[in-house]
């Protein structure tokens, strides 16, 4: 059974997304492009185009439950932000409270959510390691990067075990206790993890030396990740959407938005 | 190339392990606190800075902070699609942090590392406000709201400087970090 | 193949040498076992053989260590690693990839081996160690025995002339231990020089050609395996038994005093236990069992749910159904941890304080709060003193808990569990990696707790502990499944 990276991290294991068949690099390229284009586009029309296309992309992984939870959380945060902005606008006249002024930043957030979720929920951690290899990075970047990805699930599990160990001892961690004794809470939760990290780095460092790894190591992949036609089409579709969104932005929505500073 | 080959495999492993620990702890603290509550904002910054200081003491070599930042950014992009816009502030923070550490680069003491972490925190927080402006420039109110959050996070970083020094002293007591 | 000539080695910041005047030779096709009590210098010997001392750890080396005829001082670690393969107690900590096939390929990829050659090497290794079916598996899904096989296969694919293993059986069940012995015997017969450092001895009776016993950094005895049958030598050097009787099938079944629950009965009675992991078949389906006073072993093969049962009893995993009665009184699962102590294997995660004494003090204070006891400071100090003495930790009272050795940490977390004075105590592999003296110390402490009326449940692969302390067994799968 192959459990997705983020779902395993976030303890959402269990149900697994159907294999999308897209290369992790294609999903990465889309995230990268989206993060740049959302900043450039400041018109509602352009953002709407990006939001629609990215939502379809997010729905394509068919992880409706995860998507709904993420949207509910973002909606809650947006609700809070709207309330605060409204409050501010009533005491500070230079802060405008308009639909457009709120909509564009919110849509930016949603677009990023839509492109990040498919990457996080469908790629296995091993896929990410393979992508890292495929980027042909120098050894000094590849090795710590690979170690980082390799040990994220291990440390997630460690944190769970540390919390359990406290429960077994008879500690009860409450929010009030965190305020009253922050240093004790930090010691209880953080000290074992810090020592564990140091010990792991020591053991793995020894393993690296014993495998004969060093900065002069020359990497020859024995198997390369497969970039298929499907991946090319996905990136091409993304580029088309971006071009359309930019066109919308420049042709339809270039008028300055109310509240622009 | 000689600059890139200065690290031994074991030092690179330490950097990778600490990057993983930092990512996991900050993610867990943020999730446990429901994202934006002040306590979790402070907590995750505090833990990150503490880990940064311990790591700089373990791998006491110019360039470590920058390498750590680059790796963190690459993996964040791979793993969680983190925005590429965060990279310039982080890199600027790392490079200026390296600069702050430079006068004490041959010292085995703790303070050059603390200075590097402090500069890194200040610069990244300040520049992240610039990135926030890019993302919310259509609405001045939102930008005003972001500032206190960044300040609360920075207070956590300041606390991290203290806990970082404390952690290194304890690691020395345990014989895990030796001078 | 590996030769130590009058070797004395001292770690940095230490005054006393870790090993002194060692002369030892491991020839191609020869199997040498090095044993001795914890801290006797046997792990240092292993680090000298693979070059980690002094190349990684620093320190000063006097005398010579030769590998394949070359002095280790003249060879960089990178070259040494091609001649000597090393496998540690926890192979997972050595893995750089998350899947079996990727892990096997990793070292070849970074040595610049052509892709076709890498494919051939990992195919050969997988065939030899029967790993083909596990190629796509995550390393987290593997049993300890399978992880060991992956670690060995990775080394085998690099074709080294010598193999060094550090406590390879500490996490293995008896069946996997026998299989490992068989594999190592095959490797020896293929011409490999093998050096094993271990506390457990019985599994190598038919494999080891020679045994070296160490004490305080010196080899005090060297000879054929038969010398380990000398009780005086074993006792003087803190060794485990050379031959161990497997009592797993002969221990009496743990049986309740009456068929149904009865007020005042002494022990834990669990009825109608139901539990299944999400999306999987039930592990326990209306199962019942009884844990009486004394030390009871929980016996079952890999995957039968031994640790899960311990977690269900304590409420760390929530049972879907089940009635839990302690001394005849029904308790909700959420209350169980107040009465049941549990010692899990991960001692690193359970230590938080700055000194060993503080760690025990905190546990005593928590136990007082939990039970509503009120004790004087003096009484607490007496308790601490007693626990430190019981587990031979007195001389370590001011040390940082995280700076202790694995065996010392293990004893400390058990001492912390004793501080709670639980009426029921569950221990998961309490003696893995402990030498003979400390294994006996734990067995004695468990018997003492049982004599005071506690019910102790031990999950263990350690046949010597089973024989030394257990009077009954609960066997998995349970009735009702």
pLDDT tens digit string along C312-366?
A: 999 999 999 999 999 989 999 988 988 899 998 888 888 999 999 999 999 999 8
Question: Helix or strand or coil: residue B121?
Answer: helix
The owner of tokens 């005042």 is C264
The owner of tokens 């050969």 is C124
32-61 in chain C: CB under 8 A from chain A: 50, 52, 55-56
In this prediction, the residues of chain A whose per-residue pLDDT falls under 50 are 1-19, 256-261
CA distance A25 to chain B (A): 8
Question: How far is residue A238 CA from its own chain's centroid?
Answer: 19
Q: Is B166's Cβ below 8 Å from some Cβ in C?
A: no
Which tokens go with C188? 């020896």
Model confidence at C479, pLDDT cuts 50, 70, 90, reads low
Q: Is C373's Cβ below 8 Å from some Cβ in A?
A: no
Closest partner residue to B173 among C12, C13, C400, by Cβ?
A: C400
Pairing of strands C84-87, C210-215: unpaired
The owner of tokens 């010292």 is B107
> Which residues of chain A are within 8 Å of residue B14 when distances are taken between CB atoms?
201, 205
> Which residues of chain C are within 8 Å of residue B167 when distances are taken between CB atoms?
none
d(CA C455, CA C342): 12
Mutate to test the interface with B, among C403, C404, C408, C409 (most CBs of B within 10 A): C403
Which residue on chain A is closest to C55 by alpha carbon?
A209
- CA atoms within 13 Å, Cβ hemisphere of C452: 13
Question: What is the torsional sign of CA C351, C352, C355, C361?
Answer: negative
Which tokens go with C193? 């020089």
> Which residues of chain C are within 8 Å of residue B176 when distances are taken between CB atoms?
402-403
Closest partner residue to C81 among A150, A204, A210, by Cβ?
A: A210
Residue A50: closest CA among A100, A106, A97, A123? A106
d(CA B78, CA A27): 9
Which residue on chain B is closest to C96 by alpha carbon?
B13
Assess contact for C465 and C445: CB atoms under 8 A: no
Does B61 have pLDDT greater than 70? yes
d(CA C240, CA C231): 10
Assess contact for C250 and C275: CB atoms under 8 A: no
Q: Is A138's Cβ below 8 Å from some Cβ in C?
A: no
Q: Choose between C97 and C293: higher pLDDT.
A: C293
Which tokens go with C264? 């005042």
d(CA B114, CA B53): 6
The owner of tokens 């780095």 is A201
Does a structural domain hold residue B31?
yes
CA distance A50 to chain B (A): 15
DSSP string, C128-176: HTT-GGGTTSBGGGS-HHHHHHHHHHHHHHT--SEEEEESTTTT--HHH
Question: How far is residue C159 CA from its own chain's centroid?
Answer: 28
- Domains, in order of start, for chain C: 2-237 (3.40.50.300), 267-475 (3.40.50.300)
DSSP string, C74-137: GS-HHHHHHHEEEE-SSGGGG--SSBHHHHHHHHHHHTT--HHHHHHHHHHHHHHTT-GGGTTS
CA angle (C159 as vertex; A133, C121 as ends), nearest 5: 50
2-41 in chain B: CB under 8 A from chain C: 10
CA distance B174 to chain C (A): 5
Query: Which DSSP category does A93 fall into?
Result: T
> Which residues of chain B are within 8 Å of residue A131 when distances are taken between CB atoms?
78
Interchain contact, A85 vs B81, CB within 8 Å:
no
ipTM entry: 0.87
Assess contact for B110 and B168: CB atoms under 8 A: yes
Closest partner residue to C348 among A126, A196, A221, by Cβ?
A: A196
Interchain contact, A198 vs B176, CB within 8 Å:
yes
Interchain contact, B18 vs A100, CB within 8 Å:
no
Which tokens go with C385? 């003193």
Interchain contact, B142 vs A178, CB within 8 Å:
no
Query: Which DSSP category does A113 fall into?
Result: H
CA-based max dimension of chain C: 74
CA distance B136 to chain A (A): 5
Mutate to test the interface with B, among C402, C404, C409 (most CBs of B within 10 A): C402
- The average confidence (pLDDT) of chain C is 90
Does a structural domain hold residue B178?
no
Residue C443: closest CA among C460, C422, C421? C460
- What is the mean pLDDT of the segment spanning B170-176? 85
Strand partners, C60: C10
CA angle (B175 as vertex; B169, B178 as ends), nearest 5: 75
Q: Is A204's Cβ below 8 Å from some Cβ in C?
A: yes
Q: Give φ, ψ of B177 to 5 degrees.
A: -110, 125
Interchain contact, A168 vs C344, CB within 8 Å:
yes
d(CA C428, CA C443): 13
What do you get for the CA distance between the two ends of chain C, in Å? Answer: 53
d(CA C327, CA C433): 34
Buried b (16+ CB within 10 A) or exposed e, C420-429: bbbbbbbbbb
d(CA A153, CA A159): 10
d(CA C50, CA C226): 28
- The average confidence (pLDDT) of chain B is 85
Question: How far is residue B119 CA from its own chain's centroid?
Answer: 10
Interchain contact, B174 vs C56, CB within 8 Å:
no
Does a structural domain hold residue B2?
no
Domain that holds residue B22: 9-173
d(CA C155, CA C82): 9
Q: What is the CA radius of gyration of chain B?
A: 16
Does B20 have pLDDT greater than 60? yes
- Asked, as a colleague might, if the bond just before C456 is cis with ω within 30 of 0, I would say no
d(CA A215, CA B12): 9
Does C480 have pLDDT greater than 60? no
pTM, rounded to two decimals = 0.83
Interchain contact, C78 vs A212, CB within 8 Å:
yes
Does a structural domain hold residue B33?
yes
Helix axes C174-189, C144-157, angle to 10 degrees: 10
CA distance C135 to chain A (A): 13
Does a structural domain hold residue B3?
no
- Number of domains chain B contains: 1
Please state, as a whole number, how many other Cβ atoms lie within 10 Å of the Cβ of residue A208: 27
The per-residue pLDDT for A95 is: 67
295-354 in chain C: CB under 8 A from chain A: 314, 316, 337, 341-342, 344, 346, 348-353
Closest partner residue to C98 among A126, A187, A211, by Cβ?
A: A126
The per-residue pLDDT for B76 is: 80
Interchain contact, A146 vs B84, CB within 8 Å:
no
Q: Is A173's Cβ below 8 Å from some Cβ in C?
A: no
Interchain contact, C353 vs A147, CB within 8 Å:
no
Question: Residue A93 to residues A82, A86, A89, A97: CA-CA distances in angstroms?
Answer: 16, 11, 6, 10
Q: What is the pLDDT of residues C209-265, one digit of tens each?
A: 999 999 999 999 999 999 999 999 999 999 999 999 999 999 999 988 888 878 778
d(CA C92, CA C171): 12
d(CA C99, CA A3): 13
Assess contact for A78 and A19: CB atoms under 8 A: no
Assess contact for C89 and C168: CB atoms under 8 A: yes
d(CA B14, CA B65): 12
Please state, as a whole number, how many other Cβ atoms lie within 10 Å of the Cβ of residue B26: 18
Which residue on chain B is closest to A150 by alpha carbon?
B20
CA distance B179 to chain A (A): 16
Against chain B, the chains showing at least 3 CB pairs within 8 Å are: A, C
Interchain contact, B25 vs A259, CB within 8 Å:
no
Mutate to test the interface with A, among B2, B12, B156, B165 (most CBs of A within 10 A): B12
Interchain contact, B178 vs C13, CB within 8 Å:
yes
316-355 in chain C: CB under 8 A from chain B: 354
Question: Helix or strand or coil: residue A195?
Answer: helix
Strand partners, C331: C324
Q: Is A221's Cβ below 8 Å from some Cβ in C?
A: yes
Strand partners, C87: C165
Q: Is B79's Cβ below 8 Å from some Cβ in A?
A: yes
Interchain contact, A128 vs B79, CB within 8 Å:
yes
Closest partner residue to C279 among A14, A125, A218, by Cβ?
A: A14
Closest partner residue to A214 among B9, B28, B167, by Cβ?
A: B9
Does a structural domain hold residue B106?
yes
Closest partner residue to B170 among C13, C56, C354, by Cβ?
A: C354
Interchain contact, C400 vs B10, CB within 8 Å:
no
Q: Which of A85-89, C39-43, C127-131, C173-177 has the least mean pLDDT?
A: A85-89
Pairing of strands C294-299, C329-331: unpaired
Buried b (16+ CB within 10 A) or exposed e, A109-139: bbbbbbbbbbbbbbbbbbbbbbbbbeeebeb
Query: Which DSSP category does A256 fall into?
Result: P
What percentage of chain C reaches a pLDDT higher than 90?
A: 60
> Which residues of chain B are within 8 Å of residue C56 when distances are taken between CB atoms?
10
- What is the mean pLDDT of the segment spanning C456-462? 93
Strand partners, C271: C323
> Which residues of chain B are within 8 Å of residue A28 when distances are taken between CB atoms?
77-78, 81
Please state, as a whole number, how many other Cβ atoms lie within 10 Å of the Cβ of residue C366: 18
């Amino acid at each position: 059974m192959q459990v997705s990276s983020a779902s395993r991290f976030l303890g959402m294991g269990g149900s697994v997304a159907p294999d999308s068949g897209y290369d992790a690099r294609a999903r990465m390229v889309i995230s990268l492009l989206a993060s740049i284009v959302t900043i450039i586009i400041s018109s509602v029309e352009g953002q709407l185009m990006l939001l629609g296309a990215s939502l379809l992309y997010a729905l394509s992984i068919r992880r409706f439950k995860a998507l709904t939870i993420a949207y509910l959380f973002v909606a809650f945060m947006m609700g809070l932000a709207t309330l605060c902005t409204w409050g501010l606008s009533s005491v500070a006249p230079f802060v405008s409270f308009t639909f457009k002024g709120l909509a564009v930043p919110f849509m930016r957030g949603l677009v990023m959510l839509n492109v990040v979720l498919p990457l996080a929920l469908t790629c296995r951690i091993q896929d990410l390691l393979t992508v890292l290899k495929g980027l042909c990075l120098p050894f000094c970047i590849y090795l710590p990067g690979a170690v980082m990805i390799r040990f994220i699930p291990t440390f997630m599990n460690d944190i769970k075990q540390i919390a359990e160990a406290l429960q077994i001892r008879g500690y009860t961690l409450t929010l009030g206790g965190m305020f009253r004794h922050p240093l004790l809470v930090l010691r209880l939760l953080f000290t074992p993890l810090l020592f564990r990290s140091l010990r792991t780095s020591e053991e793995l460092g020894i393993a690296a030396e014993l495998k004969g790894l060093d900065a002069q190591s020359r990497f020859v992949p024995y198997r390369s990740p497969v970039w298929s036609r499907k991946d090319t089409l996905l990136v091409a579709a993304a580029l088309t959407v971006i071009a359309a969104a930019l066109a919308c932005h420049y042709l339809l929505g270039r008028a300055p938005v109310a509240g622009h500073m | 190339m000689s600059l890139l080959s200065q690290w031994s495999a074991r030092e690179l492993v330490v950097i990778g392990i600490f990057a993983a620990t930092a990512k996991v702890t900050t993610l867990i603290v943020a999730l446990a606190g429901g994202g934006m509550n002040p306590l979790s904002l402070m907590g995750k910054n505090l833990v990150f800075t503490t880990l940064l200081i311990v790591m700089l003491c373990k791998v006491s070599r110019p360039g470590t902070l920058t390498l750590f930042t680059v790796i963190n950014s690459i993996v964040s992009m791979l793993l969680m699609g983190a925005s590429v816009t965060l990279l310039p502030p982080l890199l600027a923070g790392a490079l200026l942090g390296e600069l702050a550490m430079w006068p004490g680069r041959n010292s085995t003491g703790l303070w050059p590392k603390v200075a590097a972490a402090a500069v890194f925190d200040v610069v990244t927080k300040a520049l992240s406000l610039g990135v926030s402006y890019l993302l919310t420039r259509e609405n001045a109110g939102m930008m005003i709201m972001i500032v206190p959050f960044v300040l609360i996070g920075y207070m956590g970083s300041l606390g991290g400087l203290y806990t970082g020094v404390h952690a290194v002293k304890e690691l020395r007591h345990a014989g895990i970090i030796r001078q | 193949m590996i030769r130590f000539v009058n070797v004395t080695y001292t770690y940095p910041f230490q005054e006393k040498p870790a090993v002194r005047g060692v002369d030892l030779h491991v020839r191609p096709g020869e199997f040498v076992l090095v044993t001795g009590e914890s801290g006797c210098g046997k792990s240092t010997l292993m680090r000298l053989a693979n070059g980690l001392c002094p190349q990684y750890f620093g320190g000063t080396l006097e005398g010579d260590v030769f590998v394949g005829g070359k002095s280790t001082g003249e060879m960089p670690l990178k070259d040494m690693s091609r001649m000597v393969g090393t496998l540690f107690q926890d192979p997972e900590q050595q893995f750089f990839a998350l899947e079996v096939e990727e892990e096997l390929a990793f070292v070849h990829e970074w040595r610049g081996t052509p892709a076709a050659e890498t494919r051939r090497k990992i195919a050969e290794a997988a065939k030899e160690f029967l790993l083909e079916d596990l190629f796509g598996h995550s390393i987290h899904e593997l049993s300890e025995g399978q992880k060991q096989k992956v670690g060995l296969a990775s080394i085998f694919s690099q074709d080294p002339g010598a193999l060094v293993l550090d406590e390879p059986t500490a996490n293995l069940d008896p069946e996997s231990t026998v299989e490992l012995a068989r594999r190592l015997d095959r490797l020896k017969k293929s011409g490999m020089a093998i050096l094993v450092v271990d506390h457990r001895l019985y599994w190598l009776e038919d494999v080891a050609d020679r045994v070296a016993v160490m004490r305080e950094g010196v080899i005090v005895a060297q000879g054929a395996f038969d010398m380990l049958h000398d009780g005086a030598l074993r006792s003087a050097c803190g060794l485990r038994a050379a031959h161990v009787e497997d009592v797993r099938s002969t221990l009496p079944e743990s049986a309740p005093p009456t068929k149904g629950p009865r007020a005042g009965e002494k022990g834990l009675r669990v009825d109608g236990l139901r539990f299944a992991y999400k999306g999987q078949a039930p592990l326990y389906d209306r199962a019942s069992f009884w844990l009486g006073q004394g030390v009871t072993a929980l016996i079952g093969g890999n995957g039968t749910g031994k640790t899960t049962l311990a977690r269900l009893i304590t409420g760390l995993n929530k049972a879907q159904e089940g009635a839990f009665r302690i001394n005849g009184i029904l308790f909700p699962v959420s209350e169980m941890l107040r009465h049941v102590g549990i010692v899990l294997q991960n001692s690193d995660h359970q230590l938080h304080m700055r000194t060993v004494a503080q760690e025990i003090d905190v546990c005593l204070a928590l136990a007082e709060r939990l039970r509503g006891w009120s004790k004087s400071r003096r009484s607490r100090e007496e308790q601490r003193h007693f626990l430190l003495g019981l587990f031979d930790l007195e001389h370590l009272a001011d040390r940082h808990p995280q700076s202790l050795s694995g065996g010392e940490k293990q004893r400390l977390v058990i001492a912390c569990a004793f501080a709670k004075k639980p009426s029921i105590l569950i221990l998961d592999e309490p003696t893995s990696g402990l030498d003979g003296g400390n294994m006996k110390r734990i067995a004695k402490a468990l018997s003492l707790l049982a004599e005071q009326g506690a019910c102790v449940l031990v999950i263990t692969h350690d046949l010597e502990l089973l024989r030394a302390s257990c009077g009954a067994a609960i066997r998995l799968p349970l009735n009702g499944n």
